[in-house]
Amino acid sequence: MSDRTNLVSRALPVAGLLLALMVPFYLSGFWLLLGVMVMAAAIGAIGLNLLVGTAGQLSLAHAFFLAVGAYAYCWFAGAPGPGGGGITLTGLELPPLLAAVLAVATAGAAGLLFSPVAGRVRGLYLGLASLALVFLGQHLLFNLSSVTGGFNGRNVPELSVLGFELTGRDPELTLLGVPFGDRERQWYVALVCVVVAYVFARRVLAGRPGRALVLMRENETAAGVVGVPVSRYKASAFVLSSMYAGLAGVLLAQAFQRVVPEYFGLVLSVEYLAMIVIGGLGSVTGAVLGAAFVTGLPSLLSHYSGLFTFLAEPGTSGVDPAVAARLVFGVAIVAVILLEQGGLVALGRRLRPAARPRVDAAGSGDPGPPDPVGQPALPPQDMTTASS
Amino acid sequence: MTRLLELLAVGLSLGMLYALIAMGFVIIYKGTRVVNFAQGSLLALGAYAVARIAPSAGFWAAAAAGIAITVAGSLLIRFLLSRARGHDHMALAIATIGVDVVLTTELTRRIGPDVLSMLDPWGADTVQLGGVTVPQARIAAMAVAVAVLGLLLALFRYTGWGVAMRAASADAEAASLMGIRLGRVATVSWMIGGALAAGAGVFMSTFPSAGLDSHSSTIALAAIPAIVLGGLDSTHGAIIGGIAVGMARTLTAGYGSELGFLGAGFGDVMPYVLMVAVLMWRPSGLFGTREFIRV
C-alpha cells in the first residue's frame, strides 16, 4: 500500500534474479544440479497449475507430456546408431536448439491430440481418463525402442549454438576464475527458461484468458453464457500445459544426460500434482515453491543424511531419505488440503500481510482465506477453527 | 477353442475381482462424491495384514483381521476428509492421493523385495472343468465375488441404508433435508469400500499371482478403467466394467503373439484404450449419470 512496500515488491524479483545469476560462481555442482532440476520442475509445475489450479481440469498425465518433450528432443537432435541392448536407434540430427523447439511443439501436439477427450470429459472423469496417457506412454517408451532406446533409454545430446555447448563442457570456458562446465551452463539455460515461463504464465493469467479460465473453473455454463468459447479454452489450456511440460522434459533430460522410461511413470505425475497442491493451486509462484519443495527434499535429505541419524542407508529396510521425502510430501498434500488449501503461497501471504500491495492476479482464484490486505493477520489456529 | 474357453474363464474371474475393486470405488463415490485414490493402498494394506497374521492365526482369522484393519484405515481417511474445508471434490480426491502416497510408501518399504504368501487354503491346486483348467483360488474368488456383489446389490435395493445412499447420491442436499443422515451414509460407504478393497487384495495375491509384492497397490489402478467405463456412480456399471476390463486384459495378453505389432505387454494398456474410446462416445461412462445443467 505504501510506496515502501511497492518498492520492495518491485525490487525483490530483481534482487532474486541477480542472486540467481551469481549462484554458479559460488556453489558446487551438487547445488547447481539441484537448482537445474528445481527450475525444470518449476516450469512443469507452472504448466500443470495453469491446467489444474486455474482451469480446474484434474490431470494425472503430466509425466506423459514430460516424456514426450524429453524423448522428442533426443530423437530430433540425436544421431542414429546402436543403442543399448542391441537396439538400433534412429534420430534426425537436427540442430539442438531447433530440436528443443520442435520437442516443445511435439508435446503441445500430443496435448492437442488428447484435447478431444479433454474438451468433452469433465472434472474427475478427466482426471481418471488422463491416467490412460501415463500407462500408454510407458508402453510406448518401452516398445518404440528405435526412438526411445527401450528399457535402456537414450543418451541426451547437448544443447548447443554454433558449436558452443550450452549444456555441455565444450569448448572450455572460464569466467572470473570459475571454470564453466556443464552444470554452470545448464543453470543459466534453465534460469532463462524458468523466467520466460514464469512471466508468460503471469501474463496469461492476468489477461483475458486467465479470467476466462477461472470463470470456467467456477462455473462452466456461466462462462459459456458470457461468451467464453469453453471447449476451445479447455483444449488450449491442455495444449499450453503440455508445452510447459515438454520444455520441462527437455531441461530435465539435459540435467540427467540420459533418459530412461521408468522415470516417467505415474509416480512422477503424482509428484507434479504434489508440487502444485503444496505450493498453492492456481498460483504461479506457488508452482515454483512447490517444485522446489518436492524436488529439493529428497536430494537435501540424502545430501545431509549424516545429520539425520534417524534415516537409514538407502537399500536397507529402514526409512531412507527417498522414503522419508515421499512420506513428507504425502503428508504435506493431505495437510494442505485439510488446513490451508492455498498452500505455501497462502501461508507466506498470511505471515506477511503488509507486504502485499496488490491482489495477485494469478492467486486470485485461490480457495484459501480472503486476501488479508488491510486487516490484521489472524493467527493460523483461528483460521482453521473458524470454518470447521 | 479350449484356449479361448480357458482365457474366457480366467478373464471372467479376473473381471469379477476388478468388479469388487470397482464397486469399492463406486460405493465411496456414491456415498461421498469422493474418488478414493487411496483404494489401491487400502487393498495392499488388507493383503499385507493377512499375509503377516496368517502364519500365526491361520488364514480365516487373518482374513477377518485384515478386513477389520482395512475398514479402520478407510474410516480414518473418511474422518480426515471430513475435516477438510469446503467440499471441492477435486481437492478431496487429491487428498486421497496424498494418503495413498504415505500408505504405499510405508507398505512398499515394509514388503521390500519379498513376495508374501497369503497362506490361503486353495494354494496352487487347479480343477478341470470340461477340458478347461482353472485354478481353485480363482474359482473361490469368483464365488466370493458373486456372493458379495449380489449381497451388495440387494443391500442397495432393499435396506434403509441402500435407499439413503441412493438418495444421497442423487441429490445430497434434498436427501439431507428429508432427514437422511449423510454422515452415516458416508461412514457405511467408506467401511464397505475398505472391506471390498481388502477382500480383492487377498484374492489378487493368491494363485496364479505369486503373492503380495511391493507393486500390489497398483492393482487397484487397473480397476479405474472399469469404473470409468461403467460410470463412476453406477453399481451395475462397476460390475460390467470390471468384467469388460478383465476380459480385455486377459484376451489381449492371451493372444499377445497374434497382436505382436502392438508391443509386448499391451494387455495392461488395453483397458485404458477401451476406457478412452468409451469416454469419447459417452463422457460419463456407459451407465453413469449424465450431468444436466440448468441455467
Q: Which of A116, A121, A330 sits opposite B102 (nearest CB)?
A: A330
3-state helix, strand, coil in chain B (%, to 5): 70, 5, 25
Confidence class of residue A380 from pLDDT cuts 50, 70 and 90? very low
- Encoded amino acid at B191, one letter: M
Q: How far apart are CA B46 and CA B243, in angstroms?
A: 23
Cβ of B156 under 8 Å from any chain A Cβ?
Answer: no
Q: Decide if A127 and B221 are in contact by the 8 Å CB cutoff.
A: no
Residue B272: closest CA among chain A residues belongs to which residue?
A: A132
Show the DSSP H helices in B83-135 as ranges. Answer: 89-111
Q: Decide if A270 and B97 are in contact by the 8 Å CB cutoff.
A: yes
Q: Which of B94, B101, B276 sits opposite A132 (nearest CB)?
A: B276
Q: Which of B80, B100, B109 to mutate to test the interface with A (most CBs of A within 10 A)?
A: B109
Distance of CA A291 to the CA centre of its chain: 6
Give the pLDDT confidence of A259-268 residue by residue, as tens digits: 999 899 998 9
**Contact between residue A54 and residue A217 where contact means Cβ atoms under 8 Å apart:** yes
Q: What is the pLDDT of residue A249?
A: 95
Cβ of B101 under 8 Å from any chain A Cβ?
Answer: yes
The whole-angstrom distance between B102's CA and the closest CA on chain A is 5
Q: Which of A158-167, B122-131, B283-292 has the lowest mean pLDDT?
A: A158-167
Give the pLDDT confidence of B202-228 residue by residue, as tens digits: 999 887 788 888 887 788 888 899 999
Q: Decide if B105 and A125 are in contact by the 8 Å CB cutoff.
A: no
Cβ of B228 under 8 Å from any chain A Cβ?
Answer: yes
A204 φψ region: left (φ > 0), alpha (ψ -120 to 50), beta (else): alpha
Residue A130: closest CA among chain B residues belongs to which residue?
A: B276
Cβ of A332 under 8 Å from any chain B Cβ?
Answer: yes
| Chain A residues lying within 8 Å of B263, measured CB to CB | 139-140, 142-144
Q: Decide if B269 and A273 are in contact by the 8 Å CB cutoff.
A: no
Q: How far apart are CA A193 and CA A46, in angstroms?
A: 12
Q: Using alpha carbons, select from A264, A126, A334 the residue that is nearest to residue B38.
A: A334
In the A/B pair of chains, how many CB contacts fall below 8 A? 140
pLDDT top residue among A282 and A69: A69
Confidence class of residue A223 from pLDDT cuts 50, 70 and 90? confident
Q: What is the pLDDT of residue A162?
A: 67
> What residues form DSSP beta bridges with A165?
A160
Residue A328: closest CA among chain B residues belongs to which residue?
A: B102
- Say if the ipTM goes beyond 0.90: no
Averaged pLDDT, B4-13: 86
Residue B114: pLDDT over 80: yes
Cβ of A388 under 8 Å from any chain B Cβ?
Answer: yes
| Chain A residues lying within 8 Å of B273, measured CB to CB | 132, 136
Q: Which of A52, A122, A220 sits opposite B283 (nearest CB)?
A: A122
Q: Decide if A136 and B272 are in contact by the 8 Å CB cutoff.
A: yes
Q: Decide if B275 and A332 are in contact by the 8 Å CB cutoff.
A: no
Q: Which one of A166-170, A204-208, A347-351, B44-48 scores highest in mean pLDDT? A: B44-48
Sign of CA dihedral A278, A281, A283, A287: positive
Q: How far apart are CA A284 and CA A291, in angstroms?
A: 11
From chain A residues 50-69, the ones with a CB under 8 A of any chain B CB are 52, 56, 58
Q: How far apart are CA B99 and CA A334, in angstroms?
A: 7
The whole-angstrom distance between A356's CA and the closest CA on chain B is 25
pTM beyond 0.90: the answer is no
DSSP of A27-54: S-HHHHHHHHHHHHHHHHHHHHHIIIII
| Chain B residues lying within 8 Å of A329, measured CB to CB | 98, 101
Q: Which of A68-82, A284-298, A319-333, B250-264 has the lowest mean pLDDT?
A: B250-264
Q: Which of B81, B82, B101 to mutate to test the interface with A (most CBs of A within 10 A)?
A: B101
Q: How far apart are CA A96 and CA A88, in angstroms?
A: 21
Q: What is the pLDDT of residue A4?
A: 61
Q: Which residue has the cell 475398505?
A: B194
| Chain B residues lying within 8 Å of A61, measured CB to CB | none
**Contact between residue A388 and residue A42 where contact means Cβ atoms under 8 Å apart:** no
Cβ of A316 under 8 Å from any chain B Cβ?
Answer: no
Cβ of B130 under 8 Å from any chain A Cβ?
Answer: no
Q: What is the pLDDT of residue B241?
A: 94
The whole-angstrom distance between B61's CA and the closest CA on chain A is 28
